[in-house]
Structure 1
């Protein structure tokens, strides 16, 4: 399986809304909008095989992202912010613990996707 095939397999597991057990974590799931910022370029890789539009962004949505290396750092910065945001919402019961773990797995998937995206973007 090549990087793009692996990426496409993992993408939906990291960005589809799971079935949560608690209302609290349904509200937390969007991670303060951070996952949406990341999902755009990664979705473009999912559908088009690249996110080259980021390197020539005329709207200023991706400042400083002009290479695969800077793209990876941009992605990993968002992943870190997602984790930090989630850690501020510690679970208070068994069902919340399950929801918390679900989101952690999704964030871990976002990190893996970021590295795969970098490799895909770095290929000639």
Structure 2
């Protein structure tokens, strides 16, 4: 019995692990403002689901004009084109550099009195 307990305690740590941190949430919607952030860790499956949800829920069209991944499954290059559904549209692109990891974002403010109805960019949002 003691031997079995010892084996269990010796082997148990081999099966305990932590899951890698999940990517940044792709989309938030609050008070009429839609924010979308795509970083180097998002999979093609996640991005295609996002594209579908944006069109169905918010009438926002997202197209990936360029999207390439490296062998580790991380985004190397990305170029998006967005039609905000509110008369505004734009593009943003980014590629992986020695230190820089691809990140693109856009924001659509559906409020009638919005100061900025649409913005899009690459890298950190200012």
Q: TM-score range by the shorter chain?
A: under 0.3
Q: Which has the higher helix share?
A: 1
Higher relative contact order, structure no. (Cα contacts within 8 Å, ≥ 6 residues apart): 1
**TM-score using structure 2 length:** 0.24
**TM-score using structure 1 length:** 0.24
